Structure formats: structure tokens, C-alpha cells
């Protein structure tokens, strides 16, 4: 069973990370998101990464900028 303190900390870090991103504080977003990922990993919480959709969006943007015509690699 996952300790409720760890789950509370994950929730707090997620909230602070999203709040930071909403204020264009990209470094602070990365800091808190990294703590969330680390806590989730070292405590074997197996929670879905709440930042996964942002990472996928970034990868999509990079792909579109590299291959603007939609051509495959």
C-alpha cells in the first residue's frame, strides 16, 4: 500500500508544477515535475504521469517543425 504522505506529496508537487507552468515559470515547472517523477519512481507508486500529455505535445511540435509537410522520416 502506498503511504498517504507520499500521495499527498505527489498531489502537492503536481499542483505546484501546473501552477508554475500557468504563470510561465518554466524552470519551476520542471523542478516540481521532476520531483513528482522521482517520488513516483523511488516509492514505486505506479501513478500515471500527469505531465505525459505535455511531453507528447512537445514531441508532436518537434516532429511538425522537423517535417512540416508531413513527410515521414
At 8-48, the pLDDT tens digits run 999 999 999 999 999 999 999 999 999 999 999 999 999 99
Calculate the CA 33 to chain-centre distance. 5
Query: What pLDDT is recorded for position 56?
Result: 97
pLDDT for residue 73 is more than 60: no
- Kindly list the domain boundaries of the chain, sorted by start residue: 4-66
Of residues 64, 44, 54, 58, the one with CA closest to residue 17: 54
Amino acid at each position: 500500500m502506498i503511504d498517504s504522505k507520499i500521495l499527498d506529496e505527489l498531489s502537492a508537487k503536481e499542483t505546484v508544477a501546473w501552477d508554475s507552468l500557468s504563470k510561465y515559470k518554466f524552470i519551476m515547472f520542471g523542478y516540481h515535475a521532476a520531483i513528482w517523477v522521482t517520488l513516483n519512481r523511488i516509492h514505486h507508486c505506479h501513478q500515471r504521469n500527469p505531465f505525459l500529455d505535455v511531453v507528447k505535445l512537445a514531441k508532436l511540435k518537434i516532429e511538425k517543425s522537423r517535417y512540416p509537410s508531413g513527410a515521414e522520416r
